[in-house]
A and B are shown apart, each in its own frame.
Chain A
Amino acid sequence: MVRGSRVLLLKDGGGGGGNALFKVLSDILVCPLSKQPLRHCPDSRSLVSDAVGVSFPIINGIPCLVPKDGKLLEDEIKLKVDDSSIAKGEG
């Protein structure tokens, strides 16, 4: 049904359609802290503020741009490095 299509598109990350919509949103929305442009990161399903080095998650298709919900990019990178070291150690 038409009425559900947009929600389905956003909820499953949407492939091309959903990513395109978030790209549109990243053109429209700005970082709530710096008011600078955001960049959509499809891999982490987030909107990234390069100006302050913070990423904001997109949860169930809804961008979460409350300042306190932002994650520092360097913390995210450290977590990824730790995860991959643990994976190699166990492998």
Chain B
Amino acid sequence: MGAVTGPALPPSAVRHLHYASWSPSSLPIRCSSFGLPRRPFLFLLRSPPPPRRRLGNNRVRCSAERHALFNRIAPVYDNLNDMLSLGQHRSWKRMCVSWSGAKRGNRVLDLCCGSGDLVFFLSQKVGTEGELMTECKGCIPSGWLIQVYGLDFSSEQLSIASRREDLYWKACYKNIEWIEGDALDLPFSDSYFDAITIGYGLRNLIDRQKAMREIFRVLKPGSKVSILDFNKSTSSLVSLLQEWMIDNVVVPTASEYGLSQEYKYLKTSIAEFLTGKELEKLAKEVGFSEAKHYEIGGGFMGNLVATR
């Protein structure tokens, strides 16, 4: 399989592709006859592809390496998500938000928020009518209640999230606050949130039990966390298909952006992740009263819903 170079694109198309790098859903997927993206997608890069780095057995061992990895893939993260899932990742994320139980007036947190997809969905869900829990009620313009927190350890991803917020401005987005932080040491008080979501983040955390304990701590009793990620399937067929997709679609696509090493780590990462049953067990061990894992996306994806 290989990408096929096409004729040069007219300037209007290049501008569309350039700005479409920020678009949640408008990016056209132009594929070669082999189903892989054509080279013109390289126009989407704002900077030259980063130099290839060895990740040593495709394992990303420590937090600093993962931090660097996510900073490197930040510029093309959204485009790759769109291409690799054919836009389906948005449906999965909407399901994740729905399962979290977030509703109007709630205070919610999205961990490992990346470029903000889940935060923007949550922002529309909870609106701007929550309660202002601070003495400074008269000091800020009315209607600027912060109800949606997006936390990530990658400054590059947060920078992109902030720019997307500006670019696709909706009035409800004024309820969003971006925080650069560590999911293992959350800067929030106990029992603070009505709902928490994580999309493709738990698998990348060095200490998942500590992360679950922190989530438990900052959730209000009776509230839910909704955790979307790849499914580590117990079905050999699904696992084989998943590995085939990564080897033959994901990595070649990522290599068009000079990021094949970064995406090769995905296979190892899924192999080291927990199955649905193991995730339910982890949640119960940490203290959640209920935990249920749902398989979606043909079994390739899974969503854990745990109630404090």
Interface residues of A (CB under 8 A from B): 1-4, 6-7, 17, 20-21, 23-25, 27-33, 35, 38, 59-67, 69
The verdict on A66 contacting B181 (CB below 8 Å), with A17-B140, A30-B189, A60-B159 known, is yes
Q: Which of B136, B165, B187, B189 contacts A24 (CB 8 A)?
A: B136
Using C-beta atoms within 8 Å of the partner chain, give the interface range for chain B: 20 to 34
A18 to B146, CA, bound (A): 14
The verdict on A67 contacting B177 (CB below 8 Å), with A25-B146, A32-B187 known, is no
Q: How many A-B residue pairs have CB under 8 A?
A: 83
**Residue B144 lies at the interface, judged by CB distance under 8 Å to chain A:** yes
**Residue B169 lies at the interface, judged by CB distance under 8 Å to chain A:** yes
A28 to B149, CA, bound (A): 11
B residues 136-184 touching A (CB-CB < 8 Å): 136, 139-141, 144, 146, 153, 155, 158-159, 162, 165-166, 169, 171, 173-174, 177-182
A residues within 8 A CB of B178?
Answer: 62
B residues within 8 A CB of A38?
Answer: 187
A residues within 8 A CB of B141?
Answer: 17
> Looking across the interface, which residue of chain A has its beta carbon closest to that of B161?
A62
B residues within 8 A CB of A63?
Answer: 179-181, 187
A65 to B188, CA, bound (A): 11
- Could you tell me if A27 and B134 are in contact, using CB atoms closer than 8 angstroms? yes
Q: Which of A20, A32, A62, A69 contacts B162 (CB 8 A)?
A: A62
A24 to B187, CA, bound (A): 14
B residues within 8 A CB of A1?
Answer: 169
> Looking across the interface, which residue of chain B has its beta carbon closest to that of A19?
B139
With A24-B139, A65-B187 given, name 20 new contacts (CB 8 A): A7-B162, A7-B166, A17-B140, A21-B140, A21-B144, A24-B136, A24-B140, A24-B146, A28-B146, A32-B181, A32-B182, A32-B185, A60-B159, A61-B162, A62-B155, A63-B179, A65-B179, A65-B182, A66-B180, A67-B182
- Could you tell me if A3 and B169 are in contact, using CB atoms closer than 8 angstroms? yes
A25 to B133, CA, bound (A): 10
A62 to B174, CA, bound (A): 14
B residues within 8 A CB of A33?
Answer: 185
- Could you tell me if B140 and A20 are in contact, using CB atoms closer than 8 angstroms? yes
> Looking across the interface, which residue of chain B has its beta carbon closest to that of A35?
B189
Q: List 22 A-B contacts (CB under 8 A).
A: A1-B169, A7-B165, A17-B141, A23-B139, A24-B136, A29-B179, A29-B187, A30-B188, A32-B185, A32-B186, A35-B189, A35-B190, A38-B187, A60-B159, A62-B155, A62-B180, A63-B180, A63-B187, A64-B155, A65-B179, A65-B181, A66-B182
> Looking across the interface, which residue of chain B has its beta carbon closest to that of A38?
B187
> Looking across the interface, which residue of chain A has its beta carbon closest to that of B171?
A2
Nearest chain B CB to A55's CB is how many angstroms away? 13
- Could you tell me if A59 and B155 are in contact, using CB atoms closer than 8 angstroms? yes
> Looking across the interface, which residue of chain A has its beta carbon closest to that of B107?
A28
A2 to B174, CA, bound (A): 10
